[in-house]
Structure 1
Amino acid sequence: MTKTRRAHQTVDRLDGSQLESAPALPDAVAGQFIFRAAPKSWRPFLQLARIDRPIGWWLLVLPCWWSSALASVSQNQGPHWRDLLLFLIGAVAMRGAGSTYNDLVDREIDAKVERTRGRPLPSGRVSPGAAKIFLAAQCLVGLAVLLSFNGFSIWLGFASLGIVAIYPFMKRITSWPQAVLGAAFAWGALMGWAAAFGSLAFAPVCLYLGAIFWTIGYDTIYALQDIEDDLLAGIGSTARFFGARVQAGVAALYALAVLFVEISFLAAGAGWPSHLGGAGFALHLAWQARSTDPDDKAGALRLFRSNRDAGFILFAGLGAEMLRASIF
């Protein structure tokens, strides 16, 4: 166990009716208020929903916000505030549901991987039956959010479930499970536009492609933490696929992400504030690619988490243009 992992705070481990101390999950954010305030019996479920790892739902909601903002820019109007809030609620719920489903499918594999063996299901702190009930509850929240949108968006949202369903199995059969994750996590790049227009167009499709390549890139960095364990467990990943060329691989993926995002901006008629945000996004991704080191596991986690900032930089440019339109 590394020094970084030893430094994490402890969480409560549920063993029958007794609670005992256990190491926190290695990539969790320590000291969160919600964990301190929640009853001890809730904490394994908060971990199951990845509430201790908020980067997941940030990376899920940001493409939704980009898409909604791009629609506003194309319409030359201010933000769709209601949609932005609903996307946030839906992202937290569906990130939790997706993670719970993934952990149910992968609990035997997770038990073999150092970074994941302490998760609630492989460690026995949550039973599969309780996890299924929790999964259903989170899906109901996501469904309530989805039904708040127009009919086209509702059907578009349901269409993403097929990709979500097959993702956990992809690591068993391909070296590119990150591509399937990208197709799922980037779906919001279609949803924001659909919620505003009730249809799709060339611009959101290009934004979706850009978000897919962005996701593959940052999840390749994330997968660097597990290369040795993945090899032993027979799990595929783009980190293993690229091997010693991982820095070049991440750079190529990020270059494609920037290219398709820029095409989407041009197709939507975006102005200079949006392009300025796109330039900042590109610089951030270039820094990430240059900093990628397959031998630095702690650094890989920091780079992965920094994608929230990259996503906000892109959204800030779009946001500036939306606000300009609403004022002038």
Structure 2
Amino acid sequence: MFSSRFILKSSLLSLKNRPQILYATFTGPKLLQDDVKTRQEKLEDERIQAEIANMVKKPRQNSLLEPYVKLMRLDKLAPFWLVYWPGAWGILGAASYLNTQPDLYMLALFGMGGLAMRTAGCIVNDIWDKNYDRKVERTKDRPLASSQIGVPAALGLLGLNLSVALSALLQLNLTTQVLGACCLFPVAIYPAAKRFTNWPQAVLGVTFSWGALMGWSAIVCSNLPQSANILSFLPAVFLYFGCVNWTLFYDTIYAFQDINFDKKLGLKSSAIAVQDKPVLWLLGFSGLCVSNLALFGWLTSQEPIYYISLGLATAHFAKQMAFVNFKSPESCAKQFRSNNTIGAIMTFGLMASLFIK
């Protein structure tokens, strides 16, 4: 009796569940197929995303010349212009002083020589610092630090750039040639300066600003009697010290990018020296720069447009001090590069003053 009732109950349940069983029987393979398809699509999406991520992270293959371009910093020309502006100011200021037209050939020649000396300085710096550069995030991929280029090849490239600079120098008068030869000393010692002084940026200022003296000398010493040359250099002296303070301003901002690495490695910089009151120091550097450029303008009989340009440059100094974030390498790099705006503004003021006269 019990067995019959159990069989009957099982049969009724079987009949009750038959639609679900039949549905599962006919739809199960389709659901399974859809599930497999969804998984395959998901895996494909994940694979594509992984490939994109690897393309972002993995550096692209360098061309044969790319490490040499990077060693000479030809992929980053903003610092070249910072080297060029003082020489251009010296040439244009001297033309105003003598009341002559700007020498465009001389401006181009200084551009070629300045680029060659800038790249030579970068090569010397990287040879000195290749072991330190490997330990700094911003510089670890430099060609010498990453062993893409050996020191012998770097020395050969250094000789080539110095030859180009020498060929430009030989086009100038004797006084300017002597000044150019004297510039080799600060160029050579600057990379080591961070090892023995808290103010390597001052050494860089002496080096980067040298073009102001040479640009002035290239024009003035070719047009005035020898006896008048010494006194005629007074405006260039003010221009030179103005450019030195300008370099201290922008390169101190630049040095804040690596301040933590420099401390760990035991290296020195003006950023470390002024870290407690950086804005106050930058205010001093920019103030000395502007005052020296104002004296230079007065001694070279500049037109009002020059002083208007100087006012705009002063506003740009203030903008940098207001917006720079010393804890952000990106912010420091951005404000550093923006100093080319000051260079362009002052060049415009000097050029416009010449055409107004």
Fold-level similarity (TM above 0.5): yes
Gaps of 5+ in 1: 1-5, 14-39
**Aligned AA (2:104):** W
Task: Measure the CA separation in 1 of the matches of 2:178 and 2:269.
Answer: 31
In the alignment, does 2:157 pair up with 1:108? Answer: no
TM-superposed deviation, 1:12: 3.4
**Aligned AA (1:209):** F
Out of 321, 324, 327, the residue aligned to residue 292 of structure 1 is 324
Structure 2 vs 1, CA of residues 324 and 253 (structure 1 numbering), >3 Å: closer, same or farther? same
Aligned to 2:288: 256
TM-superposed deviation, 1:316: 0.5
Task: Measure the CA separation in 2 of the matches of 1:112 and 1:76.
Answer: 53
Structure 2 vs 1, CA of residues 11 and 250 (structure 1 numbering), >3 Å: closer, same or farther? farther
Mapping for residues 116-195 of structure 1, pairs under 5 Å? 116-195=139-218
Structure 2 vs 1, CA of residues 312 and 161 (structure 1 numbering), >3 Å: closer, same or farther? same
Structure 2 vs 1, CA of residues 8 and 268 (structure 1 numbering), >3 Å: closer, same or farther? farther
Which has the larger displacement, 284-293 or 250-259? 284-293
Out of 30, 34, 52, the residue aligned to residue 75 of structure 2 is 52
Give me the CA root mean square deviation: 1.6
Which has the larger displacement, 140-149 or 265-274? 265-274
Moved over 4 A (4+): 6-11
Out of 54, 58, 61, the residue aligned to residue 12 of structure 1 is 61
Which has the larger displacement, 76-85 or 211-220? 76-85
TM-superposed deviation, 1:8: 9.8
Aligned to 1:303: 335
Structure 2 vs 1, CA of residues 195 and 7 (structure 1 numbering), >3 Å: closer, same or farther? farther
Q: TM-score, normalised by structure 2?
A: 0.80
Task: Measure the CA separation in 2 of the matches of 1:252 and 1:149.
Answer: 35
Mapping for residues 62-81 of structure 1, pairs under 5 Å? 62-81=85-104
In the alignment, does 2:245 pair up with 1:222? Answer: no
Larger radius of gyration: 2
Task: Measure the CA separation in 1 of the matches of 2:56 and 2:199.
Answer: 32
Structure 2 vs 1, CA of residues 169 and 154 (structure 1 numbering), >3 Å: closer, same or farther? same
* Partner secondary structure for residue 171 of structure 1: helix
TM-superposed deviation, 1:263: 1.0
Structure 2 vs 1, CA of residues 109 and 320 (structure 1 numbering), >3 Å: closer, same or farther? same
* Partner secondary structure for residue 61 of structure 2: strand
Structure 2 vs 1, CA of residues 9 and 77 (structure 1 numbering), >3 Å: closer, same or farther? farther
Task: Measure the CA separation in 2 of the matches of 1:140 and 1:94.
Answer: 10
TM-superposed deviation, 1:47: 0.3
The structure with the largest helix share of the pair is 2
TM-superposed deviation, 1:201: 1.2
Out of 60, 65, 70, the residue aligned to residue 42 of structure 1 is 65
TM-superposed deviation, 1:293: 2.0
Q: How many residues align?
A: 294
In the alignment, does 2:286 pair up with 1:237? Answer: no
**Aligned AA (1:251):** L
* Partner secondary structure for residue 279 of structure 2: helix
Aligned to 2:235: 203
Task: Measure the CA separation in 1 of the matches of 2:60 and 2:352.
Answer: 41
Task: Measure the CA separation in 2 of the matches of 1:9 and 1:53.
Answer: 21
Question: Residue 73 of structure 1 contacts residue 268 of structure 1 at CA under 8 Å; is this kept in 2?
Answer: yes
Task: Measure the CA separation in 1 of the matches of 2:279 and 2:329.
Answer: 14
Question: Residue 68 of structure 1 contacts residue 192 of structure 1 at CA under 8 Å; is this kept in 2?
Answer: yes
Structure 2 vs 1, CA of residues 73 and 229 (structure 1 numbering), >3 Å: closer, same or farther? same
